[in-house]
C-alpha cells in the first residue's frame, strides 16, 4: 500500500460511470497522477466541490497495487482560482498549461514545472483588467526554459554569428528552428522581428510579475504568441488543442 499527501493542481476532471469522477492531479510530491474520486456525483459527497479543474489542493492519495490505481480519499482546497473560471479567455489560457503538462507527462522536472504552472494559474486568477495574453506568452517562453528547449536568440546556431539588436531571426520547421536571416533564407515561414527578440531576451531575465507587465505592439504580440505556440508544439511533438486555431485572441 502507498499513501501520499501532496500539494497538487487539478488539471482535468472527467465523469467515470454514474457516480465517480476521474481527476488528473499534478504536484511536486506526487508527479502526474490519475485518481478516482468515488461517489463524487452523489448528492452528499464532500469531495464534489473540492475536486474541480484548476483548484490547488492538499491531496490525500491512496494507491491500490492490486488494481494499479489511485484513489483521492480526501482533499483540502488551498486556492480555488475562481477568477480563472470567470471568462472563456482565462479558461483557455489555463487549459494550455494543463494540456502541455499532461501530454508531456510533466517533462522538465516536477518541482520547476509545478512552480511555473502555479505562478501561471495565480496570475490568471487575478480578476483585474489586464491583458492576459502576456501570461500565455511568458508561460510558453518559461516552459521552454524549464524543459531545456530554450532557443539561443543572441547568435545564429548555423553560422555562429552574434546578432545585432536590430536583426531579425527566421523560425522554421527545420533544424535548427531559429537562425539568422541569411542562413534561414528561403525556408522560414515565420520571422522573429528584432523587437520580439529583444522582448523575449529581456523578459526572460525578469521575475514573472515584472515580465508580464512589459508589453509589445498588438502585431508584435501576435507574432510572438504564434511563433512560441508553434515551436512548443514542435518540441512536445503533439498538437496542443488549446492552442490550435489561434488559441487566445490578442
Q: What is the DSSP string of 151-215?
A: ---SB-TTT-PBPPTT--EEE-SSSSSEEETTTTTTT-SEEE-HHHHHHHHHHTTS-HHHHTT--
The model's pLDDT over 131-165, given as tens digits with 9 standing for 90+, comes to 889 999 999 999 999 999 999 999 999 999 999 99
CB-based burial of residue 250 (10 Å sphere; 0-12 exposed, 13-18 middle, 19+ buried)?
buried
How far is Cα 247 from Cα 239, in angstroms, rounded to an integer? 12
Q: Judge whether residue 250 has pLDDT over 50.
A: no
- The CATH 2.40.50.140 portion of the chain extends over 2-79
Q: Which residue has the cell 520580439?
A: 196
Q: For residue 137, how far is the Cα from the chain centroid?
A: 10
The closest alpha carbon to 28, from 80, 104, 106, 94, belongs to 106
Q: Judge whether residue 68 has pLDDT over 50.
A: yes
Q: Is the dihedral of CA 87, 143, 233, 201 positive or negative?
A: positive
Q: Judge whether residue 227 has pLDDT over 50.
A: yes
The closest alpha carbon to 147, from 96, 108, 101, belongs to 108
- The CATH 1.20.1440.120 portion of the chain extends over 87-246
Q: Given this model, what pLDDT does residue 50 score?
A: 82
Q: Given this model, what pLDDT does residue 247 score?
A: 46
CATH topology of domain 2-79: OB fold (Dihydrolipoamide Acetyltransferase, E2P) (2.40.50)
Place domain 87-246 in its CATH homologous superfamily: Recombination protein O, C-terminal domain (1.20.1440.120)
CB neighbour list of residue 181: distance below 8 Å, 6 or more residues apart: 167, 168, 169, 170, 191
The closest alpha carbon to 94, from 49, 48, 132, belongs to 132
Amino acid at each position: 500500500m502507498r499513501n501520499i499527501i501532496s500539494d497538487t493542481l487539478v488539471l482535468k476532471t472527467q465523469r467515470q460511470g454514474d457516480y465517480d469522477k476521474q481527476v488528473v492531479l499534478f504536484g511536486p510530491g506526487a508527479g502526474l497522477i490519475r485518481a478516482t474520486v468515488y461517489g463524487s456525483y452523489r448528492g452528499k459527497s464532500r469531495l464534489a466541490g473540492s475536486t474541480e479543474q484548476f483548484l490547488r489542493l492538499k491531496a490525500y492519495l491512496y494507491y491500490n497495487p492490486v488494481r494499479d490505481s489511485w484513489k483521492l480519499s480526501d482533499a483540502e482546497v488551498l486556492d480555488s482560482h475562481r477568477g480563472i473560471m470567470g471568462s472563456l479567455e482565462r479558461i483557455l489560457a489555463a487549459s494550455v498549461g494543463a494540456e502541455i503538462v499532461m501530454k508531456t507527462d510533466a517533462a522538465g522536472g516536477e518541482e520547476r514545472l509545478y512552480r511555473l504552472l502555479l505562478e501561471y494559474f495565480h496570475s490568471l486568477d487575478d480578476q483585474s483588467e489586464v491583458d492576459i495574453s502576456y501570461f500565455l506568452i511568458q508561460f510558453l517562453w518559461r516552459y521552454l526554459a524549464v524543459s531545456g528547449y530554450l532557443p539561443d536568440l543572441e547568435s545564429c546556431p548555423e553560422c555562429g554569428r552574434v546578432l545585432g539588436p536590430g536583426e531579425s531571426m527566421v523560425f522554421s520547421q527545420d533544424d535548427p528552428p531559429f537562425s539568422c536571416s541569411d542562413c534561414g533564407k528561403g525556408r522560414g515561414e515565420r520571422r522573429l522581428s528584432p523587437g520580439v527578440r529583444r522582448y523575449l531576451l529581456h523578459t526572460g531575465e525578469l521575475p514573472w510579475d515584472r515580465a508580464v507587465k512589459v508589453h509589445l505592439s498588438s502585431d508584435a504580440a501576435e507574432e510572438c504568441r504564434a511563433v512560441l505556440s508553434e515551436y512548443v508544439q514542435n518540441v512536445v511533438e503533439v498538437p496542443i488543442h488549446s492552442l490550435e486555431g489561434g488559441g487566445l485572441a490578442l
